Amino acid sequence: MSRQRYVADRILTMDEQTPYVRELVVEADRILAIGDEARDIPCDEVFEMRDGVILPGFIDAHTHFLQMGIKRMQVDLRGTTSIEEALERVAYRIHEVEPGSWVVGNHWDESKWKEQRYITRQDIDRVAPENPVILRRMCGHLWVANTRALEQVEIPPHHQRGLDKANGLLRWESKDYFWPYMQLPTSQLSHALQIASEMALELGVTSVHEWHSDFQTLYAADRSQLSVKVVGGPSSDMLDALCSLQLPIGFGNSYTRLGAVKFFADGSFGARTAALYDPYEDSPHTSGELVWDTDELTKCFTKAHQRGLQIAVHAIGDKGIDVALAAFRKAIDTDPERPHRHRIEHCEMPNRWAIEEIAALGIIVSAQPNFIGEWGLEGGMYQQRLGEERFRFLNPLGTFRRNGIRMAFGSDCMPMNPIYGIWCAARHPVPEEQLHPEQSIRYYTSGSAHAAFEEQEKGKLIPNMAADFIVLSADPTRVPVDQIRDIVVLMTVVDGKQVFV
């Protein structure tokens, strides 16, 4: 059986007993030995990474992985600085497709536009009078459709919550009726999956937690298409089926496994749908909305908890987080001895009570530090939405850590880039909430592995663990914070195979 030795100036193992070594040996798809124990083992190949640092492969704990690949095959509005620039990209695609064909775009962010407003159907109609067009905001909680698209999709009266037909804006269930037009043909999904895999591996991401995706495509994919390991979290509408099937957490294989059931408590700050106790600073008539009735959410949580399923709930605003925690408390109290690793996804605006309750209940916070860099710095969208006082205390990563709360770090693909996330966590506008890069690396590796019940398999570079690791151009824990963003991935190894060099 072939063996490879990797030597570097520093290897961060994420193991408390042996945190730093200089070499490791891989045999097949496992770590065979590290440090002194690896030194005298004969190997078939030796890889000298003297100028780099090795650490476990990043585990992105919150992604829409397949959608990331799909969106790259549609109109990408990321990086546009104005509505006009976004419309130019839409117009370019209009000229490429047949008259009347649907055009889909993604990743628009009005907080980065000079107009500082949402795009509307009237804007899109100027460049697409004949083609139906649907454009998703960066957060995915707000879409905009042009007139032709609105004419072709019938939204039942009882599902028009969040519909602003005058401007073509779609929130909540009103946007769900456009979902079929957002998807690629089945024949193209394998290519989208391959695109997503290549993007992730280039960024050092070897595993992802994927939410409400096309699991048939994921499970059927071969390794040439899917070279990233996936823990798939089904949506809440599958709860009854999961309870009937009695599938255990982790059901699947080494590349595709069953994860937590995903619920929504509220929406997003960008769409002004995250549920707050006090109104939005830039829209005093609204304070967001709850997705679930509190009693219904409690019933679902209780059913899942008693069946041994893991729960993950999207909760961003202070009210949304409190409602989720109240449901968790009641569900857990029905069977307090049952071990669990329930999660709150995002958890951006917890109050003091919420932080204490998260710690008391043992809830995992699945945070996205990249949100800080995208919208949480001075003058950013969070400050616009919430005002001077509230925005500074969003994403209190340091407070979570000091209160002993377990964390897993992810990206929500906005953007997927753990190195950027490490930089963002070190740049929080409140110094007490900043994290040292080594702490962030831990949450992107062993923390995310624990959140998916995979700590015996991933997240550390110690014997018998999966040989999933990366080589970086510099050590994030040793360079000045401002230089972290410049670090690049030199190599990504999954199951002992070099899949990105």
Domain limits, the chain:
1-51+462-501, 76-182, 188-458
Predicted pLDDT at 485: 95
- Tokens representing residue 224 in the block: 């040439």
Rounded to 5°, the CA angle 11-17-19 comes to 20
147, 177 contact by CB (below 8 A)? no
Give CA torsion, residues 165, 170, 175, 180, to 10 deg: 80
Please report the pLDDT score of residue 47 as a whole number: 96
User: d(Cα 265, Cα 313) in Å, to the nearest integer?
Assistant: 7
CATH topology of domain 188-458: TIM Barrel (3.20.20)
Which pLDDT does position 191 carry in this prediction?
86
| Cβ-contact 372, 378 below 8 angstroms | no
Helix axes 418-425, 437-444, angle to 10 degrees: 140
CA–CA distance, 108 with 86 (Å, rounded to integer): 8
Pick one of 2.30.40.10, 3.40.50.450, 2.70.150.10, 1.10.10.10 as the CATH number of 1-51+462-501.
Answer: 2.30.40.10
Alpha helices in 30-155 (DSSP H): 36-39, 65-72, 83-94, 121-125, 147-152
3-state secondary structure of 231: strand
Per-residue pLDDT at 224: 65
What class, spelled out in words, does domain 76-182 have in CATH?
Answer: alpha beta
- What tokens does 284 get? 């005093």
HSE value, Cβ hemisphere, 13 Å, CA-based, for 21: 25
Supply the pLDDT for residue 385.
95
Structure tokens at 57: 């492969």
Tokens of 366: 């699945």
Q: What distance lies between CA 91 and its chain's CA centroid?
A: 30
Q: Which of 49, 43, 42, 45 is nearest to 9 (CA)?
A: 49
Dig out the tokens for 453 from the structure: 């019940």
Q: What is the pLDDT of residue 94?
A: 92
Rounded Cα gap, residues 143 and 74, in angstroms: 15
> pTM of the full predicted structure?
0.93
- Reported as half-sphere exposure (CB side, CA atoms, 13 A), residue 38 has a value of 24
> DSSP class of residue 397?
H
pLDDT of residue 216: 66
Q: How would you write the pLDDT of the chain (501 residues) with one tens digit per residue? A: 799 999 999 999 999 999 999 999 999 999 999 999 999 999 999 999 988 999 999 999 999 998 898 888 899 999 999 999 999 999 999 999 888 999 999 999 998 899 999 999 999 999 999 999 999 998 888 899 999 999 998 888 877 777 888 999 988 778 888 888 877 777 788 888 889 999 999 999 999 999 976 666 676 666 666 789 999 999 898 899 888 888 888 887 888 898 999 999 999 999 899 999 999 999 999 999 999 989 999 999 999 999 999 999 999 999 999 999 999 999 999 999 999 999 999 999 999 999 999 999 999 999 999 999 999 998 999 999 999 989 988 999 999 999 999 999 999 998 999 999 999 999 999 999 999 999 999 999 999 999 999 999 999 999 999 999 999 999 999 999 999 999 999 999 999 999 999
Rounded Cα gap, residues 257 and 6, in angstroms:
29
List, in order, residues 6 or more apart from 40 with CB less than 8 Å away.
none
Report d(CA 351, CA 360) in Å as an integer. Answer: 14
Q: What is the gyration radius of the CA atoms in the chain, in angstroms?
A: 23
Q: Can you tell me the distance from the alpha carbon of 147 to that of 125, in angstroms, rounded to the nearest whole number?
A: 7
